[in-house]
A and B are shown apart, each in its own frame.
Chain A
Amino acid sequence: MGPVMVGPSSSHTAGTARLGRVAREILDDDPVFVRFVLHPPLAATYRGHGSDFALVGGSIGLNVDDPRIPEAIRIAEQMGVEIEFAEEDMGEVHPNTVRVEIRSRSRSVQIAGSSIGGGVIDVFNINGFSAHFKGDSPTLLLFYRDRPGMISEITGIIADEGINIASLACSRKQRGKDAFMQIDVDSPMSKEALAHICATPDVAEAKYLDRIP
């Protein structure tokens, strides 16, 4: 069974709300500006399906079953969040694909993902790194400077916590340069472990996301 949600379309409201929410969670700060770049098939249908409300709702932290979603754009405006919609052909991707560019006063995050039906999402790009994030399990996102031994250090900390790693994937822009690691874990992670990971040399940023509701 799919999620309990606000209508009218699971791809267009539940999934898109979750995509907005992923961006908001990674930003982890109050947004002041959000730009939604829609792949053409989604751009053709998003308004009728309420995706505009849903995307905005998710990006200001509302859940998919929040009855305030139909009011999300107004709420965002009251919160002082500037919203923009644009269209861009992203090539061979799922029809319902969107890129979310979100900014707070001090930080910015960019994700691209598809809403593939029934509220299921696939975030395939985070800040320019390729990813495979579905938001259905606790996940650690790590931005760091690539160097030998990094992976084993991080996984060591997680293992010490007694947490099982369900999957791990890395991607980087260039050897020895910026890199990204996505670690899906089986059980929630403690604040201490996260602090420990953040303090690891060459880790620029660690974001821990729980399941995205």
Chain B
Amino acid sequence: MIDSFKKLGELAQGRDLADVFLESDAREHGVPAEQIIEALTKRRQVMRDCIERGKGGGTSMGKLVGNEAKLLNEAFLAGKTFLDPLTVKAELYALSVMGENSRMGVIVAAPTAGAGGVVPGMLLALEEERNVDPAKTVRALVVAGGVGSIVALSAHISGAAGGCQNEVGVATAMGAAAVAYMMDGTPQQSISAAALALKNTLGLVCDPVGGLVEVPCVKRNALFAVHGLTAAQLALAGVESVIPMDEVVEAMVRIGRALPRGLKETAEGGLATTATGCAIGDRLKDEANQRRAQRAEERERLAHERKAGVAS
């Protein structure tokens, strides 16, 4: 079993990182490589479809977000963006996925839904802008998934367990490793990219306004997609993380434990308890109560009708 990044580095030396993960899955879980590639080919397509839908915008369930992707796309198409196209697309695609997510659309959890924009944002923007073979993107998803699963051996991947570092942070690390792989980096460079990316998200708290995966989550995914690209860039240039990836993960777990409960998805701290955050939270609660009352009424009406039906 590949249970640490140290071991991964040893096993993968001079080899293709995706092959190393695929072989290990075949050996331990009896899942043949073709089957994994097939499943991930489907995942890539779900990501693509989701990005296309998401560009069109729409309103989120909590009505706090939804049109970020549309706005950025319009600016991009009008030639009004100043960043290079790769960066803009990484942001744009991450926003698209998260927009869909906030409308309860179909997405791929990577590794979670709340952090589901980071990996597709980075990978699919890179695929388009640098003409990467889609089959290679699929293999990069193997790498991303592999990195995520090693982290998951020592850390719960959820904001409730350790804050947003455990979600968006881990997604960024997965994406950075996958990007280094797509750009023909060595396995060591992928691991360095993951370490650099994760190191710089440590301490990120989970403080969703009103408890919804909308604010800050949607835009956070976009900004961290870019963060992941820059981590991969450094690693590809030969920059290494002084703290090895395994120890970065350990640090993340310790920080997660030390974070107060209010900053772990409970919506009882951080942005959620700012003046605006509280006002939104109150409004959402009122609306939920109204909906509940409506549903109760509806139920009563149905019961009434049923009774009347029986009587006649």
Contact = CB atoms under 8 A, between A and B. Distances in A.
A47 B208 CA distance: 13
Contacts of A120: 152
Nearest to B206: A45
A7 B160 contact: no
B288 interface: yes
A5 interface: yes
B61 A2 contact: no
Interface residues of B, number: 54
A12 B145 CA distance: 20
Interface in A46-101: 47-50, 53, 65, 67, 69-70, 73, 77, 94-96
B112 A1 contact: no
A1 B141 contact: yes
Nearest to B160: A95
B166 to A, nearest CB: 7
A110 interface: no
B148 A1 contact: yes
Contact of A95 (B30, B43, B105, B161): B161
A130 interface: no
B264 interface: yes
B272 to A, nearest CB: 10
A62 to B, nearest CB: 13
Given A4-B106, A45-B266, A117 B261 contact: no
Interface in B94-113: 100-113
A41 to B, nearest CB: 6
Nearest to A73: B295
A9 B113 contact: yes
A11 B104 contact: no
A49 B152 contact: no
B40 A48 contact: no
A8 B148 contact: no
Contact of B109 (A10, A48, A73, A96): A10
Interface in B17-32: 30
A1 B211 contact: no
A9 B166 CA distance: 13
Contacts of A9: 112-114, 213
Nearest to A53: B104
A77 B112 contact: no
A169 to B, nearest CB: 20
Interface residues of A, number: 37
A94 B43 CA distance: 29
B232 interface: no
Contacts of A65: 106
Given A49-B213, A95-B161, A77 B302 contact: yes
Interface string A7-24: 111111110000000000
Contacts of B109: 1-5, 10, 14, 118-119
A116 interface: yes
Contacts of A53: 104
A114 to B, nearest CB: 10
Nearest to B302: A77
Nearest to A48: B211
A182 B160 CA distance: 29
A8 B295 contact: no
Contacts of A8: 61, 101-102, 104, 113-114, 212-214
23 contacts: A1-B43, A2-B111, A4-B107, A7-B100, A7-B116, A8-B101, A8-B213, A10-B112, A10-B158, A11-B160, A12-B213, A13-B104, A13-B113, A45-B266, A45-B267, A47-B211, A48-B284, A49-B213, A77-B295, A95-B266, A117-B152, A117-B167, A119-B112
Interface of A: 1-14, 41, 44-45, 47-50, 53, 65, 67, 69-70, 73, 77, 94-96, 116-120, 186
Given A6-B107, A8-B213, A50-B104, 15 more contacts: A1-B43, A3-B109, A5-B109, A7-B104, A9-B213, A10-B158, A12-B213, A45-B160, A45-B265, A47-B288, A48-B213, A94-B156, A117-B112, A117-B156, A117-B157
